[in-house]
Amino acid sequence: MNPAKREAIYKALAKAIPEPRSELEHTTPFELLVAVVLSAQATDKSVNLATAKLFPVANTPEKLAKLGVEGLEQYIRTIGLYRVKAKNVVALSNLLLEQHGGEVPKTREALEALPGVGRKTANVVLNVAFGELTIAVDTHVFRVSNRTGLAPGKDPLEVEARLMKVTPPKYLRNAHHYLILHGRYTCVAQKPLCWKCPVYEPCEFREKKKFAAMGPDAPKPKVKSKLPR
C-alpha cells in the first residue's frame, strides 16, 4: 500500500471516529492497568460490568492487595480466566507497592515486568494513560492491518513495527483506537460491513466489492478467515 492510501485511511477514520478513546471504563492509570489485564480473552463490556462493582470497593494497589485473591475473585467471576487474572492483579498490586511506591510505571520494561502484563497491555497503558505514541496490536488491529493492506504482518509484533513505521505522525497518538474501533464495529471478522465502510476506497481487501454489494444482508463466509478475531 502506498503512502497516499495510508493517509486516506487514517483521514477517513479520524473523520468517522472524531473522539477515539478506550471503551474500558477507568479514572486512573491503575484502574486502566487492572481493566486491561482483566480484558485478556474477554470483552470490554464484561470487564466494565465487573469493575463497576469492584472499583468502588478496591481501586488502588493497597486496597486490591488487601482484598486478596479470593476476595477479588468474587467480583470478577463473570470474566474468563478469572482465577488466573485475580492472582495476577493481586501480585502486580503488591509489586507496585514494593517497587514503585504504589504508582503505575511509565516505561514498557517496568510494565512488562508486572504479572499478567505483556507487550499489548503495556502499549495500551502507555498510550491511554500517559499519551505515549504506541500502538497496541490486539486481534482487531491485527485483522484490520492485514485485511486492508495497511500494515500486513504474520504476527502482532511485525504488524506493530510496520504500523509504527508507516502511520503518519499526526495520527500516531490515536492510531490504536482508530484501528481497534474500526475492527470492532465495521471491519468485523466474519462479515465485514464493507457496504458502509469509511475506508472502502483506499482499502485493498480483495473481497470488499462482494461484501459491499451484499449490503447488510450479506451471509457469513463459508470459509473462515485465516486472520484471528
Asked if 142 and 227 count as a contact pair (C-beta separation under 8 A), the reply is yes
The helix/strand/coil state of 35 is helix
Tell me which residue of 125, 103, 102 sits closest to 112, measured CA to CA.
125
* pLDDT at residue 220, as a whole number: 56
User: How does DSSP assign 99-137, residue by residue?
Assistant: HSTTPPPSSHHHHHTSTT--HHHHHHHHHHHH-------
Name all contacts of 106-114 with Cβ < 8 Å and 24+ positions apart. 106/130, 106/132, 108/134, 111/33, 114/33
* pLDDT at residue 216, as a whole number: 77
Active site residues: 120, 138
Average pLDDT over residues 211-216: 86
Average pLDDT over residues 17-30: 94
Please determine, for residue 180, whether its predicted confidence score (pLDDT) is greater than 90.
yes
* pLDDT at residue 141, as a whole number: 97
Cα angle 131, 132, 136 (rounded to 5 degrees) comes to 105
> Which pLDDT band, with edges at 50, 70 and 90, does 225 fall under?
very low
pTM: 0.87
pLDDT tens profile 134-179: 999 999 999 999 999 999 999 999 999 999 999 999 999 999 999 9
Average pLDDT over residues 113-124: 95
> Which pLDDT band, with edges at 50, 70 and 90, does 226 fall under?
very low
* pLDDT at residue 227, as a whole number: 38
Average pLDDT over residues 193-198: 95
> Which pLDDT band, with edges at 50, 70 and 90, does 217 fall under?
low
* pLDDT at residue 218, as a whole number: 55
* pLDDT at residue 224, as a whole number: 41
> Which pLDDT band, with edges at 50, 70 and 90, does 88 fall under?
very high
